[in-house]
Structure 1
Amino acid sequence: MNSAGGLEPMGLLGGTFDPIHCGHLRTALELVEAVGFTELRFLPAREPPHRDTTHADAATRAGFIRAAIEGEPRFVLDDRELRRAGPSYSVDTLLDLRAEFAHRSLCLVVGMDAFLGLPRWHRWQEILELAHLVVAHRPGWRAPEHGALGELLAARGTGRPEDLHETRAGRVYVRAVTQLEISSSAIREIVRTGLDTRYLVPDPVRRLLAASDCYRAAAERT
């Protein structure tokens, strides 16, 4: 899809990526192709505000992402949250990106589970002033029809990815993606027990996991 409005939509996918796995990457690829992102940035969180502490340190997690996306020019590692002290609030990241990319369409990618928790996010009502929301719909979740999020979808929802090319921010686009039953916590347990992560993570990440003791060491500390 070409950017008809010339705004070159940029996808933004945040998370702990502890570690990154094929579920993250497949969702990212499907959204790049469906929406027509010129690039999709992986934004690992330094201090995730809605989760427990991370297991691998920032440099290790960034290294996993770098290895995972090598060879896919549309995927980019953006480490600004790792370099910023304090909780990694999405609104702060979007303010930073909006200052840097004033005329781009910014598209924050979230899962349906995260979208359902949106009203608990820090300054969540400012997010659509800064970016679009692209909600990756997964089986077992249903878009809300009532309440604050139901009203948001009624007012801002769109079924047209083209809308993300024509305005810089303000729309909510829900897109079904392939569900891969992979979790970072399960991968950490596989590594901890000395089993093989083949086919769950890209081979470059698998080799790094095999050579690293970060998850085994983290398990020993708990």
Structure 2
Amino acid sequence: MKIGLFGGTFDPVHPGHVHALVEAYIALGLDKIICIPAKQSPLKVDMPSSDHHRLKMLEYAVGNYDFIEIDTWEMSQKGVSYTYDTAVHLKTKYPNDTLYFLIGTDQYRSFEKWYRHDELLKMLSFVVMDRYSDSVVQDERFITISQPVLEISSTVIRQRIRNGTEVRHQLDPEVYQYIKENHLYEA
């Protein structure tokens, strides 16, 4: 089986995430995609919303896609989530499958800062989801797929909610409703 892996804090998940996943699914001819919400990203300074809230929003956002699953292994671990540890776990869980780790151009640019990045390249096939207008990949060890990108930012969404600015157009309706009901990002 060909399995796409997509990690992140998803704080909050937005249509740009889902759009990228569906485009990668099509471009690579994947059998399924596994979303892996991080406990705490090593390259992010802000602590994410609670695991419960981020998981619930992710379930709402991808629940209608039968080829997208959620793996909460990283959330069950203590401390920072390293892709290397997750890769070891998933290679054990899916020993006979081809695993494609999906990243954006921003993650590609910082890849050499990743924990045990050279070993990761031996364990997984890394796919850079490149913007049509922003081709940056110059390393043959990475697969590149070009796709249109929805320019939506979780950081901007959180800031707008804190400032009382409209964000409904940047979120799945169920995710937006969940954020409102739970007063997320308001303070």
TM-score band by shorter chain is over 0.9
Q: 1:11 aligns with which of 1, 4, 7?
A: 4
Structure 2 residue aligned with 1:105: 98
Secondary structure of 1:72's aligned partner: coil
Paired residue for 1:191? 161
Q: TM-score, normalised by structure 1?
A: 0.80
Question: Is the aligned partner of 1:74 residue 2:67?
Answer: yes
Match for residue 123 of structure 1?
116
Could you tell me which of 17, 35, 47 is aligned with 1:24? 17
Q: Is the 8 A contact 2:40 2:48 kept in 1?
A: no
For the pair 1:215 / 2:182, whether they are aligned, the reply is no
Asked if 1 retains the 8 angstrom alpha-carbon contact of 2:157 and 2:167, the reply is: yes
Given the alignment of the two structures, is residue 174 of structure 1 paired with residue 174 of structure 2, yes or no?
no
Percent identity of paired positions between Structure 1 and Structure 2: 27
2:35 and 2:165 mapped to 1: Cα distance?
Answer: 27
Output one character per residue of 1:124-168: Cα deviation in whole Å (capped at 9) or x when no partner: 011122110011112335223xxxxx4xx1xx3xxxxxxxxxxxx
Matched, 1:47 2:17: no
Pairing 1:59–2:56 present: no
Shift of 1:202: 1.1
Alpha-carbon distance change, 198 to 214 in structure 1, aligned in 2, over 3 angstroms = closer
Alpha-carbon shift at residue 64 of structure 1 (Å): 0.5
What residue identity is the alignment partner of 1:20? V
1:112 CA drift (Å): 1.4
Unaligned runs of 5+ in 1: 1-7, 145-149, 157-171
Kept in 1, the 8 Å contact 2:42–2:81? The answer is yes
CA RMSD of aligned residues (A): 1.4
Aligned partners of 2:99, 2:123: CA distance in 1, in Å?
7
Letter of the aligned partner of 1:213 in structure 2? Answer: H
Query: Which piece of structure 1 moves more, 91-100 or 114-123?
Result: 114-123
How many residue pairs match? The answer is 186
The aligned counterpart of 1:200 is 170
Contact kept? 2:9, 2:48, Cα under 8 Å: no
Name stretches of at least 5 consecutive residues in structure 2 with no aligned partner.
none
Quote how far apart the aligned CAs of 1:78 are: 1.1
Residue 196 of structure 1 deviates from its aligned partner by: 3.6
1:142 aligns with 2:112: no
Contact kept in structure 2, 1:16 and 1:54, CA below 8 Å? no
Q: Is the 8 A contact 1:191 1:209 kept in 2?
A: no
What one-letter code is carried by the residue in structure 1 that aligns with 2:137? A
Secondary structure of the structure 2 residue equivalent to 1:205 = helix
Alpha-carbon deviations, 1:186-214, whole Å to 9, x = none?
A: 11122223344323111110110111122
Aligned partner letter, 2:36: L
- Name 1:162's counterpart in structure 2: none
Match of 2:27 among 8, 22, 34: 34
